[in-house]
Structure 1
């Protein structure tokens, strides 16, 4: 009797496992798709004032199987949601390279005079092509804003660990004390993949040293200020005292 029960359990487990193996290929297998890794991206020529033209890589993610060949990604501009004019940018063809699950849609931006006094937007949407049919995913489209004014750096989600919340005055203070217009750092453990490793290449140790320098500069400013501690001048934390986070 006990043996028959054991045999029955073995047969049940075998059928269960066989069923799981049969169902495993379902889902996105055979339905390759791509989507943007975020729905808001930005760029400012204020970070690169010596450039008249630059290329920004909008990061995309893959669903489905990896392949041993490059695959093109087609994207278009949604005209009725775009404020940038044609002389300001050029949208290029995206790529998912062989063996990779991430890629980019490049946008070439031009430093025209109008960007000195305005922030413009390009709405970019991925559309179906021969390689990618699955588009009804997390972010099939994104907003890309750019300007020549000082705005929140695109990588502030990485810098926030060192400097806290963003505000225009605080970022100006950091740039002034460092004598530079950008901090191209991207945390290697960030859930958001580095959009351009050749650009965002500062190390954690460099940022730690910079953080300590800014901490001392802020303390010196507050010590000699006649109006009290430095406060955020705009944004969500406007009016609140600026505090440099504790070191990791």
Structure 2
């Protein structure tokens, strides 16, 4: 019997690594609930002075590696958008600086004539650029805080020039929202944002007292303050 010995030469295989695009997504702390409600309300009617345009900054994060060079980011309108590009809003490619991990994307919005009687929705999602694609979606723990962050794909903004109930309205402190009540509150306090983040704990407790006293003085001279729904304003 002839024993044939077959020699196998061993060749080291080269490991091919794929360096694809890093990801980006919207993010918010879970308590902010933008990832759940998915709607941010914006009204030009809340501006102290008349505006023809404004900028809304949306929090975003890199879900891939941080780089030592600037990179390009762009948002695009997604399905469900009723706002019109160039009329109600504008989206531009922006550059984030080297080393950026979290950043704010500027969405330019215009006070278009139709907003006086309508609310337009803008549904946004990350667009693919030379540097980024859509990043990982879901919850991630924040290292230095007790909160959890959520990465999400879509961010919805409702745009109008009507006095509609704003984000963060504290019904427990100020009662049911109405446009007449809101205007009265602005006249008395000089404020336009009555969310707990804006007025703080002291404001939550003290502003209703101040407003009730001002309302009593108004009623002594003018009678009850009636809102646009035919209801008497109260605090």
Aligned to 1:143: 156
Asked if the contact 2:62/2:135 (under 8 Å) is kept, the reply is no
What pairs with 1:203-222 in structure 2 (closer than 5 Å)?
208=202, 212-219=206-213, 221=215
- Larger relative contact order (Cα-Cα within 8 Å, sequence gap ≥ 6): 2
Instruction: Quote the Cα distance in structure 1 between the aligned partners of 2:57 and 2:211.
Output: 34
Instruction: Quote the Cα distance in structure 2 between the aligned partners of 1:109 and 1:73.
Output: 18
Q: Which has the higher helix share?
A: 1
Deviations 1:12-47 (A, max 9, x none): xxxxxxxxxxxxxxxxx9873221133322211112
Asked if the contact 2:26/2:60 (under 8 Å) is kept, the reply is yes
Rg larger for: 2
**Residue 165 of structure 2 is aligned to residue 175 of structure 1:** no
| TM-score between both structures, scaled by the size of structure 2 | 0.61
Q: Which has the higher strand share?
A: 2
Asked if the contact 1:88/1:110 (under 8 Å) is kept, the reply is yes
What pairs with 1:1-248 in structure 2 (closer than 5 Å)?
32-37=22-27, 38=34, 39-48=38-47, 49-78=49-78, 80-86=79-85, 87-137=87-137, 138-154=151-167, 156=168, 160=170, 163=173, 167-169=177-179, 170-180=181-191, 182-183=192-193, 187=197, 208=202, 212-219=206-213, 221=215
Instruction: Quote the Cα distance in structure 1 between the aligned partners of 2:68 and 2:188.
Output: 48
Asked if the contact 2:21/2:131 (under 8 Å) is kept, the reply is no
What are structure 2's unaligned runs of at least 5 residues? 1-18, 28-33, 138-150
How many residue pairs end up in the alignment? 186
